[in-house]
Structure 1
C-alpha cells in the first residue's frame, strides 16, 4: 500500500478558513427563517441547528472559530441573527446567555463527536446517527440551555426555577433539530467519505 501523501500546511489552513467562512454563512442563512417570539424575550430560531452542525462536522477548534467569527460579525452590527438583529445590544438582552452558549455548545458538540467517533464501531451507519444525535443533545441542548438559563436570570431577573421552566418551551423543537442534524451529518459522511468527523 502506498503511503498517503502529506497535505501541505498552507492547503490545510486555506481549507480550514474556507470551512469556517462557509459554516458561519450557513448559520447566517438559517437566521433568514422567521423567528417565533416568546414572552420572556428569547425567540425560537433555526440557528441553533447551525450550531449543532458546526460542532459535529468541523470539530471543536474550527467550531470555536466559526461561531466566534459569526458572533463578532453580529457585535459589529451586521443583522445576522434571526429577525435581522445585530449589534452590541443583543449581548445584554435576555437571549445573551444563549449566544455565549452557542460558542461553548458548538465546541462541546465537536468534542463529544470526536470522542464518540473514536469509540464507535459503526462509523457510517446507525452508530453515526446516534453519535451525532447525542453530541447535538449534549452541546446543543444541555450546554446551551445552561448558559441560556444563567442569561435569563441575569438579564430578565428570573429565578433559577422560572428560567428553567421558561426554556422548556424549546425542548421539543430542539430535539427535532438534533435528529435533523444527525441525518445531515450521516449524509455528509456518506457523500464525502474523506470528511473527518473526529477532527480536533
Structure 2
C-alpha cells in the first residue's frame, strides 16, 4: 500500500516536471507539451488503476491552483478551456494504456508499451480532446479533429519513447512494472 502511494505521488510529480518544458502554443489554445508522455508512462509502468490515480492526483493539484500545466497554467479555469477534454481524457488514457500493458502478453514489453501508448495515450486521449474542443470552440467534431492532426507525429514519437523507457525499466529492475506482474 505504502509503495503504491509513493509511486502514485512520484508519477504525479513526473507529470508536473514534464510541464516545465517550454510549451509550443497552437493558435486554437491547445499547446504541444511533454506531459502526455508522462500520462503514457503512468499507464505503462504503474498499470491501469495506479496510473489513473496518479493522473487524478496531478489534476487535483492543478485544480487547487498550482500552475503545473505547460506554460504555468493551473486552477479551475483550465477545465473550462480548449484543453479541458484532453485533461479529463488523461485519466482514461492512463487507464486504457495500463490495461493493455497489464493483459497483453507474448510480445516484448517495448512493443506492448508503445502500442498501448498509441491506443490509450493517443486514440483514447484524442477522443476526449476532440469532444472538448468541439464544445469549447463551438466547432464540429470534424473541424476539431482536423485541429489535432498537428499533434500526431509528436505523440507517436512520445509513444515510442514510452515503450523504450518502459522496456528499459523492466530490464533494469525486473518486476518493477506494477501493472504487469509475471504470469502464474
Match of 1:145 in 2: 126
TM-superposed deviation, 1:194? 2.3
Instruction: Give TM-score scaled by structure 1 length.
Output: 0.88
Instruction: Give TM-score scaled by structure 2 length.
Output: 0.96
Match of 2:76 in 1: 88
Over 4 Å off, 4+ runs? none
Question: Match for 1:161 among 108, 126, 142?
Answer: 142
Q: Quote the Cα distance in structure 1 between the aligned partners of 2:52 and 2:154.
A: 24
Q: What is the 5 A alignment of 1:36-55?
A: 36-55=24-43
Q: Summarize deviations over 1:23-80 as a string: whole Å, max 9, x none.
A: 0000000000011000111000000000000000001110111000000000000001
Q: What is the 5 A alignment of 1:23-172?
A: 23-116=11-104, 119-120=105-106, 122=107, 127-172=108-153
Q: Summarize deviations over 1:80-129 as a string: whole Å, max 9, x none.
A: 1011000000000001000011011000000011111xx21x5xxxx211
Q: Quote the Cα distance in structure 2 between the aligned partners of 1:77 and 1:61.
A: 25
Structural RMSD (CA): 0.9
Unaligned runs of 5+ in 2: none
Aligned residues: 180
Max Rg structure: 1
TM-superposed deviation, 1:188? 0.3
Q: Quote the Cα distance in structure 2 between the aligned partners of 1:14 and 1:52.
A: 23
Match of 1:10 in 2: none
Secondary structure, aligned partner of 1:86: coil
